[in-house]
Amino acid sequence: MISLADLAAIREKMKDKVVIREGSAQTRVVVGMATCGIAAGARPVLNAFVDGVNKEGLSDKITVTQTGCIGICQYEPVVEVYEDGKEKTTYVKLTAEKAEKIIKQHLIGGKVVAEYTIGAIEK
């Protein structure tokens, strides 16, 4: 069973790294986690982004954060991607599977997944 000793080992490993990381992230992935988002399935979407970004080794460049309701509850789970010098991308009605595709195609490949954006859904 995992113990506090394991946590102390993490601390030893992390303590030098922390300083370097601050301020270096350029891209923000923001997941709506208000009642509307949570009820629509935002929890697995958030987990998919956090796991994916860290497992792909992108955590120095990309931060995944949570926010409240942004007022488009009918499109939840909603995720906004903010990149330096680019227009904001709003993804709607996401699932964990769609999140994985966004990580690969957009966050790694640099190409917006147009079919999941709010523009593709609004008529």
96 lies in the site for other proteins, by CB under 8 A: no
Which residues, in sequence order, are bridge partners of residue 29?
64, 81
20 lies in the site for other proteins, by CB under 8 A: no
13 lies in the site for other proteins, by CB under 8 A: yes
Closest separation in Å from C-beta 111 to other proteins: 25
Contact 107, 53 (CB under 8 A): yes
- Helix, strand, coil shares of the chain, percent, nearest 5, are 50, 15, 35
Choices 63-71, 83-91, 99-107, 108-116 (CB under 8 A): range interacting with other proteins: 63-71
78 lies in the site for other proteins, by CB under 8 A: no
For residues 64 and 122, what is the distance between their CA atoms, to the nearest angstrom? 25
For residues 95 and 41, what is the distance between their CA atoms, to the nearest angstrom? 7
Closest separation in Å from C-beta 88 to other proteins: 16
∠ CA 77-107-42 to the nearest 5 degrees?
Answer: 15
Looking at the Cβ atoms of 73 and 118, the one nearer to other proteins is: 73
**What residues make contact with other proteins under the rule CB under 8 A?**
1-2, 4, 6-8, 10-11, 13-15, 18, 33-36, 38-39, 43, 46-47, 50, 54, 59, 65-66, 68-71, 73
